[in-house]
A and B are shown apart, each in its own frame.
Chain A
């Protein structure tokens, strides 16, 4: 508990988490407002439509998570941390827990705020959360962001430099996975199992939250059920975090 409080003080006594949270909210809120206000019979406002921008906000949260650890390396406070808490595994696990928690909170706000906004903009549209799929599409953004933040933090521990780690995280998340599909034959099969594609499956499922609308964001090609998809991505995040902690323990701080 002590270590969680330490990491909470560290994270919240700098400005970057607040700026990142604000950016994430503006991006998702603004984009959703645009999408929903332009909706019509052909492109209806659906629960799914209120969350089109979630990956946008998730990218910002991953930047926040990466920075939370790379700035510690940049400014040398990681050494002060290891000096105060020589058990590096405990210190870094506590950091991961705090970052995941903060990402969860921002993720939930980032999902419910645009959804609320959409119900104000289009009061007569069917935006009620009637099914499990509807609920996961909105409330699931929080856990998805929490796990993505752990992945980003693990990369931050391994790479240590802000620019390098952020580029790696964002390029992989936004471009690399989709590029794999262009490999003839095996590309699509590999893509099915790539972590962020699987995470997208958890959030959007088979598209039930789009109310059968033909227009919308592309769905995940993963064959897992939403809950298995979440478990798969969680396992990926935990393994990556474990690798980064083992590395940090062996390395000179």
Chain B
């Protein structure tokens, strides 16, 4: 289990992480979600004792990282896939890591096998593709057979096959009872991978909940209604307190379930041509929730506003 209490990190006059508290349970994949620049990587570096918090504390199984004996056996982490010397072979890279925590050299071959790199074990890591580097990073994380695993944006830049592999892999690790904490800036990816979500923006906690709860809350469900008798349906909808928006070919109704709209139509003898629930896209929802906390948000808008009108017209 990972526990962060009032974790704060200040770089100069910029607060990268601001009074962040959350817990990560074992046996589940917990997603760490936030826009780029939200402080996810900084938080993960503090978990590993690489960056010193300005305030607060983060513990793993009740201990600070620096207090762990042979830490690779408790916490495995993949923060950056290219943290490997390019002229060192995959095996040599894992060998020194294993040696440092008194892990058997046999384990090096085991993890190379798990991630499917046995054949290129003696090749220099500098020649690896991004997917292979990512796998080598995962092999390093698994080396000490740790209880807790941290992955920072593990699917960034991977092809669909690689993404699927990593997703299933993380779920399997959680099924084995391990704590899996994985960061991403894509809600759609996290919705498929994680059971719990810790969402941050501008270094602050936005929410901690199950993924289902977050998605349900995020996607404000609306129902699209098409009917030749909208003039009769609309007052009925207004009476039950629905929020109604007129579109080109019908109405968008929020705040009332589809079934209720159907019953109202029946009562008022309204013919319906279409009654379709609209799932808002996850990304849209995520942007709404984290909207105010996106680091470069304001700058982009100002830039757009400053652009000459002619240029804006072309881009639109």
Residues on A lying within 8 angstroms of B by beta carbon are 2-3, 5-6, 9-10, 13-16, 71-72, 75-77, 79-87, 250, 252-253
Contacts and interface: CB of A to CB of B under 8 A. Distances in A.
B66 A80 contact: no
B100 A3 contact: yes
Given A9-B99, A75-B84, 6 more contacts: A13-B93, A14-B88, A72-B85, A77-B84, A80-B140, A252-B52
B164 interface: no
Given A86-B49, A253-B51, A75 B100 contact: no
Interface string B82-117: 111111110011011101111000000000000000
B87 to A, nearest CB: 5
B87 A14 contact: yes
Contacts of A9: 92, 95-96, 99
A123 B92 CA distance: 46
16 contacts: A2-B99, A2-B100, A13-B88, A13-B95, A71-B85, A75-B82, A76-B83, A77-B83, A79-B45, A83-B48, A83-B50, A83-B71, A84-B101, A252-B52, A253-B45, A253-B51
Given A6-B99, A83-B77, A84-B71, A252 B85 contact: no
A84 B98 CA distance: 9
A72 B97 CA distance: 14
Contacts of B58: none
Nearest to B144: A84
Contacts of A3: 100
A3 B100 CA distance: 6
Contact of B80 (A6, A14, A72, A76): A76
B154 to A, nearest CB: 16
Contacts of A253: 45, 50-51
Contacts of A79: 45, 50, 79-80, 83
Contacts of B50: 79, 82-83, 252-253
B65 interface: yes
Q: How large is the interface on B (under 10, 10 to 19, 20 to 34, 35 or more residues)?
A: 20 to 34
Interface of B: 45, 48-52, 65-66, 68, 71-72, 77, 79-80, 82-89, 92-93, 95-97, 99-102, 140
A250 B97 CA distance: 23
Contact of B45 (A13, A86, A252): A252
A140 B177 CA distance: 58
B91 to A, nearest CB: 9
Given A75-B85, A77-B84, A252-B52, A84 B92 contact: no
Contacts of A83: 48-50, 71-72, 77
Nearest to A3: B100
B152 to A, nearest CB: 12
A86 B65 contact: yes
Contact of A86 (B71, B80, B82, B88): B71
* Pairs A-B, 4 closest by C-beta atoms: A76-B83, A13-B92, A84-B100, A252-B51
Contacts of B88: 10, 13-14
A173 B36 CA distance: 44
Contacts of A76: 80, 82-84
B80 to A, nearest CB: 6
A77 B96 CA distance: 11
B70 to A, nearest CB: 8
Contacts of B99: 2, 5-6, 9
B103 to A, nearest CB: 10
A15 B77 contact: no
Given A77-B84, A84-B71, A253-B50, A13 B96 contact: yes
